[in-house]
């Protein structure tokens, strides 16, 4: 699955990722409406871009009372706007605090990779963001277990 990979050491907290995301999705330069958030630890001079990692267990989807948050065939967690009632339970459940809420639409939102061309990655001039295929940390263990059981490996 392709994901946005963050290289924290390259982040300068310029927030171009947040601005490009909010403009792409909301038509306005409002970082608060962005699907990517830059956590600022000012005293430590440490900045951490935070974006949905499309968790394997997806606690946001587990708590959604209307099944508005679903995993897609490509592994992406997606909010179905027509089903979302705006209860914000998913915001509380997200372990990374990256679920957002659109006050104009009254629905939750998360990173949708901008249909395969994440604008935050395109505008990240320091190169702190990259959109690429990632392998699950559990993949080697799964392959080893499959081999031990004589199952085909993927």
Task: With a cut of 80, say whether residue 30 has pLDDT above it.
Answer: yes
In this prediction, residue 84 has a pLDDT band, given cuts at 50, 70 and 90, of very high
Question: What pLDDT was estimated at residue 77?
Answer: 96
Structure tokens at 146: 């499959």
Question: What pLDDT was estimated at residue 67?
Answer: 97
- The position carrying tokens 């990374």 is 96
Q: Where are the beta strands (DSSP E) in the chain?
A: 2-6, 37-41, 46-50, 69-71, 77-79, 100-102, 107-109, 129-133
Question: What pLDDT was estimated at residue 10?
Answer: 96
Question: What pLDDT was estimated at residue 42?
Answer: 86
CB atoms within 10 A of CB 56: 10
Rounded to the nearest angstrom, the gap between the alpha carbon of residue 132 and the centroid of all alpha carbons in its chain is 13
In this prediction, residue 151 has a pLDDT band, given cuts at 50, 70 and 90, of confident
């Amino acid at each position: 699955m392709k994901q946005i990979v963050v290289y924290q050491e390259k982040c300068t907290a310029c927030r171009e990722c947040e601005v490009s995301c909010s403009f792409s999705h909301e038509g306005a330069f409002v970082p608060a409406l962005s699907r990517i958030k830059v956590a600022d630890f000012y005293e430590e001079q440490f900045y951490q871009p935070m974006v949905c990692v499309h968790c394997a267990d997806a606690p946001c989807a587990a708590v959604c009372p209307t099944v508005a948050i679903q995993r897609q065939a490509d592994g992406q967690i997606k909010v179905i706007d027509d089903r979302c009632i705006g209860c914000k339970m998913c915001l509380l459940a997200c372990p990374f605090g990256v679920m957002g809420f659109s006050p104009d639409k009254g629905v939750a939102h998360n990173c949708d990779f901008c249909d395969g061309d994440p604008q935050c990655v395109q505008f990240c001039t320091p190169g702190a963001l990259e959109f690429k295929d990632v392998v699950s940390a559990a993949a080697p263990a799964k392959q080893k277990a499959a081999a031990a059981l004589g199952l085909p490996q993927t």
